[in-house]
Amino acid sequence: MVPGKGEWEKQMIKRTISSILILVIVSLTICLFEAVGCVGLIFLAGLLTQWEFYKLLRKMGQMPLMATGIICGALLMFGSFYANGPNPAELLCLSMTIVVVQALLSHSLEISKKCIMSTVIGINCIPFMCCFPISLYHEMSRHGLGSGHYICTLFWMILVTKCCDIGGMFVGKRFGKHKLAINFSPKKTVEGLVGGILFSNCAGIILLFLCGEWLPSGLGFVKAIALSTLLAIFSLVGDLVESVVKRLADEKDSGTIFPGIGGIFDLMDSLLFSIPLGVLYLKYFIHYFQPIHGFY
């Protein structure tokens, strides 16, 4: 059922209030604790998202080892914060081994299959992906960039990604005609995706000019457009993944913690694939001390 205009407006009011509350909490945390606070928020959001993800999987008939998976996820993210500690790939290998051994002790092939697959997917899709923005702090530190540069760079990527959500929602509602993924998310349209990419590009350029001194120096106009487009496209991938999971679990939202938005998973879905790829783009395509010559 498509909500009426009045219901949509009520949802938008709730969504706006929740967004303001989230912004206040995030801003206060970062003002008080700087980069450590930023990492702490990623850590907390990752664990809560993983917990909601496992709850949805259980409603689908899967049997994730919730405690084991969340502990392994916490170790993954905690370890990625230490530059000289074990890297996320090593911790992921250890986590998968622990999950497999525990599942095999159940002495049931069917239970083992449901435990292993669902638990490992939860670890890979959420805490492992959260390791990328956490480890970005050390990557930028090695290039002489401090806490302020890390926070601004990360939030540049987050805001650009979220602008795709906003642009896609408004443009899709007004002009959307051609369905993008009718079997997974009927509300998504091609027009909405185009609008989301344009919104992300505009946000990326505006923020580049407003706070460019706090961003990697190699992020010029063209590379900012390329990164904005990458973030926008893969924000849709994360959104569709969550839509599939919620549809299979027969749930509208992953939770009720944020009125108008839903749960933490609903808030994080568009960031799960876009931010890690954004971090890889910065690492391999942006030279931190490269002067900006013209648009390149």
207: which residues sit within 8 A by CB, 6+ positions away? 156, 159, 160
Contacts of 284 by beta carbon, 8 Å cutoff, 6+ apart? none
**CA 79 from centre of chain:** 19
184 within a domain of the structure (yes/no): yes
Per the CB < 8 A criterion, the answer to whether 53 and 245 are in contact is yes
Q: Is residue 296 part of a domain?
A: no
pLDDT confidence of 8, banded at 50, 70, 90? low
Q: How many domains does the chain have?
A: 1
Report if residue 295 sits inside a domain. Answer: no
Rounded to an integer, the average pLDDT of 226-254 is 91
Average pLDDT, the chain: 86
290, part of any domain: no
User: 292 in a domain, yes or no?
Assistant: no
> Would you say residue 89 lies in a domain?
yes
- On whether residue 26 sits in a domain, the answer given is yes
Position 264 scores a pLDDT of: 92
pLDDT digits 0-9 by tens, 103-149: 888 767 777 878 998 999 999 999 999 999 998 888 888 878 888 99
Residue 201 has pLDDT above 70, yes or no: yes
91 is in which domain, residue-wise? 5-285
pLDDT over threshold 70, residue 293: no
In a domain, residue 293? The reply is no
Of the candidate ranges 7-11, 98-102, 171-175, the one whose mean pLDDT is the lowest: 7-11
